[in-house]
Homo-oligomer: A and B are copies of this chain.
Amino acid sequence: MNIAQRDRDLGTAYALREPATRTELTSVARGTPMGELMRRYWHPVGLATDATDIPRKVRALGEDLILFRDRHDRIGLLHARCCHRGTTLYYGKVEEDGIRCCYHGWKFDTEGNCLEQPCEPDGGVFKAKVRQPWYPVEERYGLIFAYMGPVDKKPVLPGYDCLETMDEDEFVEADDSSIGGGGPAVIPCNWLQHFENVVDPYHVPVLHGSFSGPQFSNMMASMPEVKFEMSPRGVTVRSIRHQDDGKIFYRVTEAALPTLRVVPNPRVAQFARVESIGWTLPIDDTSFRIYVAGRVRNAGDIGRMRSKFNGKFWWDMTEAEHQQFPGDYEAQVGQGAVTIHSEEHFGQSDRGIVMIRRLLKEQLEALAAGRDPIGVSFDPKAPPVQFEAGNFIREA
């Protein structure tokens, strides 16, 4: 194959170079650069209510795990394959102090300690020598967070001011339906395609405005002036829109490592600091889901933030409607299971994307050099994280 200059000049698809993906940024498998970076942070892996006495399948960062809660209210997140002969603990039974494998009855507590081996002489005299692979978890904001990395690097699970400081009638609600993803709960493309969207305010007036009709507030429909800035945890995006009344609509969005969407309500129901945080959990390299925790006044408020298109939920739309009223799901899944970076062409409006990729690359270098990535804290007394995000109105 011999692509001539004239093919390049004409820009035909015949002149396309070999497609290439920056997998060091996209792949989350254990042992890969980004997989290791991801494993230096806590990730939500379920709603608090997902952990019950019925074992539940969880897939996170490409690993198959089983989630349960014993009768002492301890939550277990175990490697799915029993360390004895490999049968999934999904078919196990949860007992008072652990989960028992269906095949030969080995019982494990929530930290993987083997409590019983009923088929072994004397109940298993060597059972202390085996341990079911497990991960530490913590429950907060209605979510279960897991730490899947090296134990010596385990940071403190961060608290967030926007979920801690609230009005008297407010409370925190959690949601696992991928609010903000524009489609179903599990979205079949790489997590980074969505995460980059957080620092891309320019698509809003196009995709969510002129293109599909104003999916959000009319206030969002005009092209903003945008300033991007590095923050202690990621990238901050400040969008300014001049209002007809002479005031300024000032909107701040943040992307924070590892995968946090700190995005004020795009419907701009009020002018206030951000009311929720979304975590873009990479299920594996080609799918993700979003967990959200937010301050609400009524149960179900988070779910009611879900976008409609042409008056319908995503799953009720016809193929023709998806084509006519595309949203974030179509735009990001439409980039492919994992996008092809070699085909991209950036403009001024892609500065946020460039910054987030550079930031991720710097963190990979930090890890390679033995340093900690940004945003992790080992201080249990650290105050809750403050975000600047919000919708604000200002005098011009």
Which residue numbers of A lie inside 8 Å of B, CB to CB?
1-4, 6-7, 10-16, 30-31, 36, 39, 54-55, 63, 65, 78-79, 81, 83-88, 90-91, 93, 100, 102-105, 112, 117-121, 124, 126, 130-136, 148-152, 200, 202-203, 206-207, 210-212, 223, 322-323, 326, 330-332, 334-336, 339-340, 343-350, 353
Chain B residues within 8 Å of A103, by CB: 203, 206-207, 331, 334
Interface of A (DSSP majority class): loop
Say yes or no: B202 contacts A104, CB within 8 Å.
yes
The minimal Cβ–Cβ distance linking A52 to chain B, given in whole angstroms, is 12
Question: Can you name the residue of chain B whose Cβ is closest to the Cβ of A350?
Answer: B85
The minimal Cβ–Cβ distance linking A22 to chain B, given in whole angstroms, is 12
Chain B residues within 8 Å of A334, by CB: 87-88, 90-91, 102-103
Q: When the two chains form the complex, which single residue of B16, B55, B78, B112 contacts A79, counting CB atoms closer than 8 Å? A: B16
Chain B residues within 8 Å of A350, by CB: 85
In the bound assembly, the distance between CA atoms of A100 and B326 in angstroms comes to 13
The minimal Cβ–Cβ distance linking A215 to chain B, given in whole angstroms, is 12
Say yes or no: B347 contacts A124, CB within 8 Å.
yes
- A344 in contact with B86 given A105-B211, A119-B202 (CB within 8 Å): yes
Chain B residues within 8 Å of A331, by CB: 87, 91, 102-103
- A133 in contact with B84 given A54-B323, A102-B330 (CB within 8 Å): no
Question: Can you name the residue of chain B whose Cβ is closest to the Cβ of A127?
Answer: B347
In the bound assembly, the distance between CA atoms of A66 and B200 in angstroms comes to 25
Say yes or no: B13 contacts A148, CB within 8 Å.
yes
Say yes or no: B84 contacts A344, CB within 8 Å.
yes
Chain B residues within 8 Å of A12, by CB: 112, 133-136, 148, 151
- A349 in contact with B150 given A30-B14, A331-B87 (CB within 8 Å): no
Known pairs A2-B150, A3-B150, A13-B78; list 10 more (Cβ under 8 Å): A7-B150, A11-B131, A12-B112, A13-B135, A83-B343, A87-B331, A87-B335, A90-B323, A100-B211, A119-B349
- A16 in contact with B133 given A31-B1, A104-B202 (CB within 8 Å): yes
